[in-house]
A and B are shown apart, each in its own frame.
Chain A
Amino acid sequence: IKEEKQRLRKEKKQQKKNKEKKDEKASHESEKKKNKEEKPVSAAAPASQPPTQPSTQKAVPAPAPVPVPVSETPALADKPAKTKADLKAERRARQEAERASKQAATSKPKAPPNELQPVVKRLPEHVQVDNPGVLKKLAKKLERQQIPLRLDYGYKVSLFSHLHQYSRKAPLTQQLSIPSTVIHPAIVRLGLQYSQGIVAGSNARSVALLHAFKQVIRDYTTPPNEELSRDLVNKLKPYISFLSQCRPLSASMGNAIKYIKKEISNIPSQCKEEEAKRKLLSCIDCYIDEKIILAAKAIAKSSIEKISNGDVILVYGCSSLVNHILCEAFEKNIKFRVIVVDSRPRLEGREALRRLVQRGISCTYVLISAVSYILPEVSKVFLGAHALLANGYVMSRVGTSQIALVAKAFNVPVLVCCETYKFCERVQTDSFVSNELDDPDDLIVTRKGKTQLEHWQDVPSLGLLNLVYDVTPPDFVDLVITDLGMIPCTSVPVVLRVKNVDQ
């Protein structure tokens, strides 16, 4: 039966290949991508995937993606590659041919480069702070890239001891030289803004990241005997390590980085530096326009259909997209009112409240502890997302899953608004495995001159936990509004697949 299924699948793919008239390499890639997409889905769905399939597929496209891992894997691999000069030249020649054929075929540059890997695993490496081996590897990698290592702070709750926990009072810049030479100043500024929370929110972080990358690209000059397409990617790697030390990267940032890396690698070697830079800068502008600005417009347009007169809409925290939607709806003269739910320690709801009230929308403000009290009044819940996972789970600010749960209990529809560039190939069913721990000192508050938790570190049995994200299961979400349309939560893997095939 397994072989039958295998054969059927192969036939289907051959047909598809002929239909789309893609060249051989691209179809192999799409096959592999489908493998990868199906694999994580199989974790959720009970479909049986033949385990032999990956190995057969792996054998065929082996020559094509070999050069790419050379640039993807850590710099350690570069050292043996450099000594084998002729192998390198061979691979380079193959890469040139590949690139030429790729450019002959019309393709939209959206596929993440990790799909060119032949190896099965290509999920982002899980953070494992409690594993000393992994930590040592990380420390070595940072040392190689000349980035200081940021030390963890304070006692970590045991369930989350595999995650990093940093203190805002110990920024990474303490260990950097002041006119920073190793890291581009724009990136240092960005890292500081991330760690201090000045740039917060998925969209803002991605836009700021791309803005910093634009400055890096502007100031970049190709060293002699190097190619821009390879060297620039290598230059970006320490920057990305630095940024992830300041604050763990978000899914949207990860996708943006993949896109940039792919764009850079696709620059033909004949291209002059000025032209290449111009091209890259315009690609970045294009990406932001398409994925963030226009996507917001499209989502707003679809969401406004869902908002009717007399609605009471509940929002949680400060999501730039949801705020945008509500402001647009208000411009269209729909009569509705908003309930803003907020939670400590971030209290982002205050900012959302300010933005809505400034426009003239009538708002109510409650804390999350009052959500079951206020829900009988609510007609719809609009939530923003940090990322949408491949199994349909919504990763968002901590507290979102509670709102969704209570809304479900009250039979109130929950709509999640999310752009497609935040879709992530990761799979998670709980909030423990991969999360972010914020500074525990944020939980300390001074009331009437007394700070009860001031010396929390001295109490051995006390741990402060400041989680940032949580995951909401798709059963609680009724609709996901994306720039591709309104889809149910379970269709997220389909969108991912379509996006990736759609090269």
Chain B
Amino acid sequence: MELQAVLMAAGGGSRMTDLTYNTPKPMLPVGNKPLMWYPLNLLERVGFEEVIVITTKEVQKMMATDPKMKIDVKMKLDVVCIQEDGDMGTADALRHIQQKIKTDVLVVSCDLITDVALHEVVDLFRAHNATLAMLMSNAHEFTETVPGQKGKKKTAEQRDFVGVDQSGKRLLFMANEADLEDGLSIRKSIMRKHPRMHIKTGLVDAHLYCLKKAVVDFLADNKSISSIRGELVPYLVRKQFSKTTNSPKIKDDAENQNQKTNDSSTNHELLISSRDEPLLQLAQERSCWNDHRGDMSEAYHGGKLRCYVHIIDQGLCCRVNTLAAYIEANRLAPKLFEEPAVHPSAVISERCQMGSDSIIGALCQVADKTSIKRSTLGNSTTVKEKVKVTNSIIMHGVTIEEGCNIQGSVICSNAVIGRGADLKYCLVGNGQRIEPEVIVTT
């Protein structure tokens, strides 16, 4: 078996608590499908037959009842439940299922919606015998106004600095601004080996990682690492250029000796040596290929640990971890699939003006003289007459009485909007009830 897929669906959605306080993030509806359906669909399309899903009991229960998950997902899902309240990071979760991991893993986050050709990432992993291969996307700014927020922009401290080499594939440097104290310091050894480095800040990490099995074993021994993105990935990227991984023959002086023994115990796991290492070495020696030129070193500078990244410029790659992303995803996600915008079981009256980019869920009832533009209507939603819905996301089981005007808003499940209400850029929580004739604007 080549790769095992692991879906991380235990995240809390800490940056969109307005939406997730009632519905867990993996089950939030996007384009009328639960959020975790998208990465599962990606894995299924590519050819995976089994996925290990790490999630909470609540989500597992919801998964069992959701029709989309039951019918559309043909793969075998091995659900592993973890404590909801625990501080389990993604790396902790991997450590938890270490016994199940028999080969290299592909870790996907449940909030990733993308149409990337997955083979591009996996090919980097295969061809260069890499320890880590990940996916990133050139992010674009969300232009829509986010309801319920006062136009807060992402603060500068959240920036991620990603350094890649000239080919744009090899990952040289990764740090979050929060971890950098004085400034960005780059080791001389990296600059000597890769004199040209492109540092990018606007990239979105898709949280899709191909990891070698040795990394999972390494995690089992190093319990201090708790998050893949926050700690493991920067650690691996740094370790590519560490002295002990590259030149074991160098005799360090006494002060480095201790450090070396500490490092060597960790390196020992990371340096995956296959059983035919000398043959592999021989093939590499005899091959007239080098990944860089201009200096006297052999391919990969003799380094055994390599991290690669695939950066996509076009196509959809969106992580639904903020409200803005959620709204954006609702707009873009349906374009991925060929399903009809209007579910066949929905009852739409003829005098309804529906835009072509609106999605109507199953068993909806839309009355006359309504106008639905650029919006998503969840399952079993009732929309009465003379309602105008623009640019909004209406989740399941919502009732919208007559004469309402809803613009740029997110209405969560089972809410009731009283008649004549006028909502602009609002976020209505689960099961809330808006009194009639209410005007709510930002």
A interface, CB within 8 angstroms of B: 171, 173-174, 176-181, 185, 188-189, 192-193, 196-201, 203-205, 207-208, 210-211, 214-215, 218, 288, 292-293, 317-320, 348, 350-352, 354, 357-358
CA of A181 to CA of B126, assembled, Å: 15
**Residue of B48, B282, B290 contacting most chain A CB atoms (<10 Å):** B282
CA of A472 to CA of B59, assembled, Å: 69
**Contact flag A185-B2 (CB < 8 Å), given A171-B119, A176-B119:** yes
Q: Which residues of A contact B127 (CB under 8 A)?
A: 189, 192-193, 196, 198
Q: Which residues of B contact A188 (CB under 8 A)?
A: 2, 126
Q: Which residues of B contact A171 (CB under 8 A)?
A: 119, 123
Q: Contact check, A354 vs B290: say whether CB atoms are below 8 A apart.
A: yes
A211 to chain B: closest residue by CB: B279
Q: Does B185 contact A (CB under 8 A)?
A: no
Q: Contact check, B288 vs A178: say whether CB atoms are below 8 A apart.
A: no
B251 CB to nearest chain A CB (Å): 22
Q: Which residues of B contact A320 (CB under 8 A)?
A: 285-288
**Contact flag A198-B119 (CB < 8 Å), given A180-B2, A354-B296:** no
Q: Which residues of A contact B285 (CB under 8 A)?
A: 204, 320
Q: Which residues of B contact A293 (CB under 8 A)?
A: 282
CA of A403 to CA of B1, assembled, Å: 48
Q: Contact check, A178 vs B47: say whether CB atoms are below 8 A apart.
A: yes
CA of A218 to CA of B123, assembled, Å: 23
Q: Contact check, B280 vs A211: say whether CB atoms are below 8 A apart.
A: yes
Q: Contact check, B47 vs A199: say whether CB atoms are below 8 A apart.
A: no
Could you count the A-B residue pairs with CB atoms below 8 Å apart for me: how many are there? 110
Instruction: List which B242-286 residues lie within 8 A (CB) of chain A.
Output: 274-276, 279-280, 282-286
**Contact flag A200-B288 (CB < 8 Å), given A177-B46, A179-B4, A358-B296:** yes
Q: Contact check, B284 vs A177: say whether CB atoms are below 8 A apart.
A: no
**Contact flag A352-B288 (CB < 8 Å), given A173-B122, A189-B127:** yes
Q: Contact check, A348 vs B288: say whether CB atoms are below 8 A apart.
A: yes
Q: Which residues of A contact B47 (CB under 8 A)?
A: 176-179, 181
B interface, CB within 8 angstroms of A: 1-5, 46-49, 106, 117-119, 122-123, 126-129, 274-276, 279-280, 282-290, 293, 296
Residue of A180, A181, A210, A317 near B279 (CB, 8 A) is: A210
**Residue of A179, A193, A211, A320 contacting most chain B CB atoms (<10 Å):** A179
Q: Contact check, B119 vs A179: say whether CB atoms are below 8 A apart.
A: no
CA of A426 to CA of B136, assembled, Å: 49
CA of A207 to CA of B284, assembled, Å: 9
B4 to chain A: closest residue by CB: A179
Q: Which residues of A contact B284 (CB under 8 A)?
A: 199, 204
Q: Which residues of A contact B274 (CB under 8 A)?
A: 215
Q: Contact check, B288 vs A204: say whether CB atoms are below 8 A apart.
A: yes
CA of A398 to CA of B280, assembled, Å: 27
CA of A352 to CA of B289, assembled, Å: 10
Could you give 24 example pairs across A and B, Cβ below 8 Å?
A171-B123, A174-B119, A178-B118, A178-B119, A179-B1, A179-B5, A181-B1, A189-B129, A198-B128, A200-B289, A201-B288, A204-B283, A204-B284, A207-B282, A207-B286, A208-B287, A211-B279, A215-B276, A320-B285, A348-B288, A350-B293, A351-B288, A351-B290, A354-B296
CA of A358 to CA of B298, assembled, Å: 10
A317 to chain B: closest residue by CB: B288
Q: Which residues of A contact B4 (CB under 8 A)?
A: 179
Q: Which residues of B contact A189 (CB under 8 A)?
A: 126-127, 129
Q: Which residues of A contact B3 (CB under 8 A)?
A: 178-179
Q: Contact check, A198 vs B289: say whether CB atoms are below 8 A apart.
A: yes
CA of A202 to CA of B308, assembled, Å: 28
Q: Contact check, A318 vs B288: say whether CB atoms are below 8 A apart.
A: yes
Q: Which residues of B contact A174 (CB under 8 A)?
A: 117, 119
Q: Contact check, B287 vs A204: say whether CB atoms are below 8 A apart.
A: yes
A92 CB to nearest chain B CB (Å): 33
Residue of A207, A318, A357 near B283 (CB, 8 A) is: A207
B22 CB to nearest chain A CB (Å): 35
Q: Which residues of A contact B1 (CB under 8 A)?
A: 179, 181, 185
CA of A354 to CA of B285, assembled, Å: 13
Q: Which residues of B contact A351 (CB under 8 A)?
A: 288-290
Q: Which residues of B contact A292 (CB under 8 A)?
A: 282
B99 CB to nearest chain A CB (Å): 19
B124 to chain A: closest residue by CB: A192
A404 CB to nearest chain B CB (Å): 20
Q: Which residues of B contact A348 (CB under 8 A)?
A: 288
CA of A429 to CA of B293, assembled, Å: 37
CA of A358 to CA of B290, assembled, Å: 14
Q: Which residues of A contact B296 (CB under 8 A)?
A: 354, 357-358
CA of A198 to CA of B286, assembled, Å: 11
CA of A350 to CA of B122, assembled, Å: 30
CA of A218 to CA of B279, assembled, Å: 15
CA of A166 to CA of B163, assembled, Å: 32
B288 CB to nearest chain A CB (Å): 4
Q: Contact check, B126 vs A198: say whether CB atoms are below 8 A apart.
A: no
**Contact flag A178-B289 (CB < 8 Å), given A192-B126, A211-B283, A214-B276:** no
CA of A174 to CA of B119, assembled, Å: 6
CA of A318 to CA of B274, assembled, Å: 28
CA of A201 to CA of B285, assembled, Å: 10
**Residue of A193, A210, A293 contacting most chain B CB atoms (<10 Å):** A193
CA of A174 to CA of B279, assembled, Å: 28
**Contact flag A203-B119 (CB < 8 Å), given A188-B2, A215-B276, A288-B279:** no
CA of A10 to CA of B3, assembled, Å: 59
CA of A188 to CA of B129, assembled, Å: 12
